[in-house]
Amino acid sequence: MSIPKTMKAAVLFDYGDLRVTEMPVPELDAGEALVKVDSVAICGSDPGIIARGWQGYTPLGSFIPGHEFTGVVVATAPDVIRLKVGDRVAVEPHKGCGRCENCLRGLYTTCLNYGNLELGHRHYGFSTNGGYAEYAACHDTTLHKLPDSISFEEGALLTAVGTVMYGYERIGWVRPGETVVVTGPGALGLISARLAKILGAGCVILTGTREERLAIGRQMGVDITLNVHEVDVLQKIMELTNGIGADMVVECSGQPGPAAQAMEIVRKNGRISYNGVYREAVSLPLNKIVQWNLLITGPKAEGMWNLERAIPLMADGRLNLKPLITHRFSLDQINTAFDTFTGRVGGAIKVIVKPESVS
Ligand SMILES: [Zn+2]
Ligand SMILES: [Zn+2]
């Protein structure tokens, strides 16, 4: 396959100034593969990265955002043996340094050398170049082979699935028959609800404000949906659980109200996973954590190679993410794609950007 010298890419010239321009195709370092990008999913964190960068790590002027993407391997560095040209792959955004204590324990999303390029840390689309381009150079350890039964578009959601899986890993998974309440029917919430069913939950309750998203939840197998505008969620969940509360609450709204209410919904000895992005401090009754023996965790992104174990669940159709993919745009239309995503135009949930033109 002939690889051109230059490519189209969406570059962050300044905060809020994302434009498609011509860029050199990246050269490969040791351990890297060149991926010809097929599909990139817009993530809820992308608009913030474009508006103000990521925690001071995002460079300007030649930086390419985008971190939930799939494509085909078109070249490999000589030391890459796990992958070959022609492999269909999904990219995991975090590449830890591989030598700090956290990385050595598989906790590479909390690498102690975050942002240190010389030590080998990469965070594609956050601190180093990502996927809104025709090509991306990605380290071997961040690539997951996709079987033919997973489309590139669905595969672009694998990172989101990995985050949900890692959240469940940290909270001790779902025990068979448990009642799991998921608050917030965005992409992470809908995936969390579906995965709870796959993991053996007895009853999955999804709460939210948007009826069309709750309907997608029902389509994905949620047992009960509660619209917070129509019912008293706390009262209803207590009714449904004989006054005891839910075994687990997976908070995905990122809003202070549901984040605080999770402490009231959960049962004694229950677990709460905070999966949202919280922009403000929320006060929680800490003594209840002690007196009620609660377990509370939160996943930092995908972690512990969970993307790999999500692949079989997607490949055989158990985890069908097609209902979440609402829009597709070509790379040239990237700003329209972002407007559609942030404005939730036409019920947008997951918006896919494709370097090749979309008809
Ligand atoms: Zn993301
Ligand atoms: Zn590390």
Spacing, Cα 160 to ligand 1 middle (Å) = 6
**pLDDT 10s digits, 154-199:** 999 999 999 999 999 999 999 999 999 999 999 999 999 999 999 9
**Ligand whose nearest atom lies closest to the CA of 159:** 1
Supply angle C-alpha 56, 67, 323, rounded to 5.
Answer: 135
Spacing, Cα 184 to ligand 1 middle (Å) = 16
Mode of pairing for the β-strands spanning 179-183 and 246-251 = parallel
**pLDDT 10s digits, 47-85:** 999 999 999 999 999 999 999 999 999 999 999 999 999
DSSP classification of residue 316: T
**pLDDT 10s digits, 207-256:** 999 999 999 999 999 999 999 999 999 999 999 999 999 999 999 999 99
Q: How many domains does the chain have?
A: 2
CA distance 228 to 258: 10
Q: 248-276 as b/e, with b when 16 or more CB fall inside 10 Å? A: bbbbbbbbeebbebbbebbbeebbbbbbb
Q: Which domain holds residue 281?
A: 163-297
Domain identity same for 63 and 103 = yes
Domain identity same for 149 and 11 = yes
CA distance 191 to 221: 11
Domain identity same for 49 and 144 = yes
Amino acid 318: pLDDT: 97
In sequence order, what E strands does 210-277 have?
A: 224-227, 246-251, 266-274
Q: Which CATH number goes with the domain that contains 124?
A: 3.90.180.10
Domain identity same for 185 and 291 = yes
In a domain, 316, yes or no: no
Domain identity same for 225 and 274 = yes
Structure tokens at 13: 């010239």
Amino acid 359: pLDDT: 57
**pLDDT 10s digits, 99-117:** 999 999 999 999 999 999 9
CA distance 278 to 28: 37
Spacing, Cα 301 to ligand 2 middle (Å) = 15
**pLDDT 10s digits, 279-325:** 999 999 999 999 999 999 999 999 999 999 999 999 999 999 999 99
Domain identity same for 218 and 273 = yes
Spacing, Cα 245 to ligand 1 middle (Å) = 31
